[in-house]
């Protein structure tokens, strides 16, 4: 399963959204118990850089926002899809991992 890491640091007006996302975290644990020996885990990515189409409105503002976040991250860069994919691969390969939420956010929740 996948949930955004932002639910761990609430923003005003996001109460209902965050409640739904937090339900996925709880469901991860419950399903791990109910579906044993199948493993159930959730990946929680932070900000990930993608390449929107050139005609996407607000590209300049988006670039400024990304730079602002990048400067604060402990790893010094915005995540890439490949970096987040590594967490999924780990979760699939590690046979001793179940019922966990893996946050992949470059230390974003720590700053």
For residues 66-79, average pLDDT: 95
Domains of the chain, by residue range, sit at 5-105
Are the CB atoms for 76 and 31 separated by under 8 Å? no
CATH top-level class for 5-105? alpha beta
pLDDT of residue 60: 87
- 21 band by pLDDT with thresholds 50, 70 and 90: confident
Q: CB neighbours (10 Å) of residue 106?
A: 24
- 99 band by pLDDT with thresholds 50, 70 and 90: very high
Identify the CA nearest to 67 among candidates 82, 49, 54. 49
């Amino acid at each position: 399963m996948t949930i955004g890491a932002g639910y761990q640091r609430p923003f005003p007006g996001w109460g209902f959204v965050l409640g739904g996302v937090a339900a996925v975290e709880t469901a991860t644990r419950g399903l791990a118990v109910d579906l044993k020996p199948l493993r159930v885990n959730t990946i929680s990515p932070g900000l990930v850089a993608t390449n929107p189409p050139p005609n996407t409105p607000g590209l300049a503002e988006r670039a400024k926002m990304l730079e602002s976040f990048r400067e604060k991250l402990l790893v010094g860069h915005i995540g890439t899809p490949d970096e987040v994919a590594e967490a999924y691969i780990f979760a699939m390969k590690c046979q001793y991992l179940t019922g966990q939420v893996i946050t992949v956010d470059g230390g974003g929740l720590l700053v």
